Amino acid sequence: MRKPIGGVGNHKDLISSENGGITMKMRKGLWSPEEDDKLMNYMITNGHGCWSDIARNAGLQRCGKSCRLRWINYLRPDLKRGAFSSQEEELIIHLHSLLGNRWSQIAARLPGRTDNEIKNFWNSTIKKRLKKSASNSASPNMSHDSSSSEHQEVMAGLISIHDSSNIMAMYMDATRQYSSSSSAIQAMTMNHLIEPLTLSDAGDHHASCYGKTQVGIDGNGVSYHGCYEIFGGNLNLVDEIFGIPPLDIPNDNQYTKTENLHDRNPMIVSNNMNSVIINQCYNNNTHKVQTLAAGFENCWEGGNDLKVEEWDFEELMREASSFPSLD
DNA sequence: AACCCCCTCAACCGCACGTTA
DNA sequence: ATAACGTGCGGTTGAGGGGGT
């Protein structure tokens, strides 16, 4: 690995910063072990705050932004070190097929991994592998509207690796965010990309909220794949109701446990724009498996609060329409 | 041993967005 | 209303390591 830059005296690695009329020299470049210690000690003692204050109070000649990055990407104690497992790799590919380059959202579903780490891994390893896979498997009859050949290759690779799972997952997301009469759903059905399931297939529930598909890897390296609904104050996993097989989850890890939202606090953190579930995920044996803290952003259904997540579904539909028939 | 090339990944940059004064 | 500031995100860069010749 790269060695940290030596003493602070190297002017090449210093930038000027105005602070209250005083010009400070801000350090740039690699962090030294001493700087790491300072930041780590400060964070352990004082916790989070304004990053520019942290930089100043910790005695670091760094801008707050640099401190934040260092903490998030390297010093945070809950970071997982080491190479990505094949399971993580597969999940990243799957999530990327759903979310695109939304690295922070992908990272939110891989505990201990940072967006930067995943982005680097994608760009250096996975992208290359998928390209290779695409060049081996791409059919000349495949028609794509996308103008990006790289994109075509990557998508071809995804299909060859994951068969229809990404399309099904997209559909699962869609069913939670649109009514069954949505033109988007109809388009997918007409393209034979999905079976015409509707929310009513889930039973007689009258859910006040449907959550986005949750996929991730728990602390034990076990992948989970679930969808959640909330009704009557309860959070349920409805994966099996929709007939979608979970991703390699052993039987005793099927998350069918219903959690009473009022029993655990805080369970939902929300404001006018976003709602985020902070939830413990349990398996059938009621062993805690995973703490979920993302995935419900902007996808409340009911009343006037219907929100359509942050991704461009029409764009997703165009992508889906260009997929070859799965027959 | 020396050189070159490629790869990895830490860190920076610019931008967007939210909050506050 | 808006300027200033803080934060977060995704794209990009380049130092340094490793492998090949």
Give mean pLDDT in consecutive 10-residue pieces for chain A, a chain of 327 residues.
42 50 70 89 85 87 89 86 84 85 87 89 83 60 39 42 38 34 32 28 32 46 44 36 26 28 27 29 31 30 27 37 30
State whether the beta carbon of A44 lies below 7 angstroms from any atom of strand C: no
Residue A150 CA and nucleotide B10 C1' are separated, in Å, by 26
Residue A302 CA and nucleotide C1 C1' are separated, in Å, by 34
Structural domain includes residue A102: yes
Q: What pLDDT is attached to residue A156?
A: 42
Q: What pLDDT is attached to residue A137?
A: 61
Question: What domain count does chain A have?
Answer: 3
3-state helix, strand, coil in chain A (%, to 5): 40, 15, 45
Where on strand B do bases come within 7 A of a protein Cβ? 7-14, 18-19
Among A233, A206, A212, A237, smallest CA distance to A316 is for: A212
Q: What pLDDT is attached to residue A13?
A: 52
Q: What pLDDT is attached to residue A221?
A: 52
Same domain, residue pair A48 and A110:
no
State whether the beta carbon of A120 lies below 7 angstroms from any atom of strand B: yes
- CATH label of the domain that carries residue A69: 1.10.10.60
Q: What pLDDT is attached to residue A226?
A: 45
Tell me phi and psi for residue A128, to 5 degrees. Answer: -65, -45
What domain range includes position A247?
167-292
Alpha-carbon gap, residue A2 to A5, rounded angstroms: 9
State whether the beta carbon of A31 lies below 7 angstroms from any atom of strand B: yes
Q: What pLDDT is attached to residue A217?
A: 52
SS3 A66: helix
Q: What pLDDT is attached to residue A243?
A: 25
Same domain, residue pair A280 and A186:
yes
| Cβ contact A213:A176 at 8 Å | yes
Same domain, residue pair A171 and A121:
no
Same domain, residue pair A286 and A214:
yes
